[in-house]
Structure 1
């Protein structure tokens, strides 16, 4: 690996850095506010959350009365904004994961999106939109042609790539499918000289335990908060 936990300060605001770097082609920028295209991902970011101008710039992206999701601000709204809801999460980084390719996995493409969205709806791993599959490599496992498990790459700040959408059909859990997928996605990330990281809900103790057993280390807690214009 070419990055380390000590080099991880970019993970304090991975969406902002990804939107100004590897994911610039998916970005909409307005001054100190940025977001992914609405069909790619629901994430927004601020260049300086302490600057009231950043929140004014964000306002241009948000239809009246609609909430906007921001991560890692500690549920501190800017002037003219209020918290609608907040979910506690955690951010973990790879420190000793055994990454390995798995030729039996299938690469998922835009043609697989209907099946992907169906699996996402049944397993609820987090937000996934029609064009999220374009953010990076997504791998899947099929049984008799049916998509039963998947994982892939999402946020891409410098030197790091987020593993996301890790999910398995309820009928196939307990077979190590998520582990195979995480290790294979990580192998692709490592091949680029980057380090995997991921997010999950703080209440999802089963997932956190699995990630730590695989070699991820808890870097920080992080809130996922929906803000609304007052």
Structure 2
């Protein structure tokens, strides 16, 4: 089976919310979204009708953001566009290399007690949406220097058979030391150890991250557009 034959990756948000992340979902009709303190992503069926859009509006509420992630469905005309960003969906096409070693630092697992530090790191580095309970989506790993969290990466979307690597970020003062590569590899190793395959999304404009992912062995499955709309 080729990557193009895997429909789970065509709708990673919807497939996650109706599967492994069902316990983190809220529903109204055929519309579904993550609970607000976990993630902003929402989904409608691949062939939404007016009733589905109405259900999503009721689920999220007037004036709220409908973060459709990479879904191609077009919402009603009176939904105001908030963001539009070109990107890629990438998959790991080969074996996961050994996690690089570095003296003086170790890759550690992060949890609820680390959330304040995780949120501070995200605020300083802006890797993408990350909320108070985003860590509940999967395993998050980090690297500390002198006791301070300076880099992290973890799992986000979990469609059947796959796990998305996300929240890859390094504090400005700790860049250039290979932390991102170590963490991405460590997360990918955990994903494959349980029988899943790693994938990720990246903005087309983030050329540095794109080059790193390709160097590690990730290949582009398809180009996507990330979109968000304001509900009237």
Q: What TM-score does the superposition give when structure 2 sets the normalisation length?
A: 0.92
The C-alpha deviation readout for 1:167-202, integer Å capped at 9, x for no partner, is 001111111110000110001100111110001111
Query: In structure 2, which of residues 22, 29, 48 is the aligned counterpart of residue 31 of structure 1?
Result: 29
CA distance in 2, matches of 1:35, 1:43: 6
Aligned residues: 228
Query: In structure 1, which of residues 10, 25, 29 is the aligned counterpart of residue 8 of structure 2?
Result: 10
Partner of 1:225: 227
Q: Does 1:149 pair with 2:151?
A: yes
CA distance in 1, matches of 2:107, 2:188: 13
Partner of 1:111: 113
Which moves more between the two structures, 6-15 or 169-178?
6-15
Contact 1:101–1:184 under 8 Å retained in 2? yes
Gaps of at least 5 residues in structure 2 are none
CA distance in 2, matches of 1:97, 1:188: 13
1:40–1:140 CA distance, 2 compared to 1 (3 A): same
Q: Spell out structure 1 runs of 4+ moving beyond 4 A.
A: none
1:223–1:90 CA distance, 2 compared to 1 (3 A): same
Q: Secondary structure, in 3 states, of the residue corresponding to 2:60?
A: coil
Contact 1:75–1:86 under 8 Å retained in 2? no
Contact 1:164–1:198 under 8 Å retained in 2? yes
CA distance in 1, matches of 2:5, 2:204: 23
Structure 1 position 80, deviation (Å): 4.6
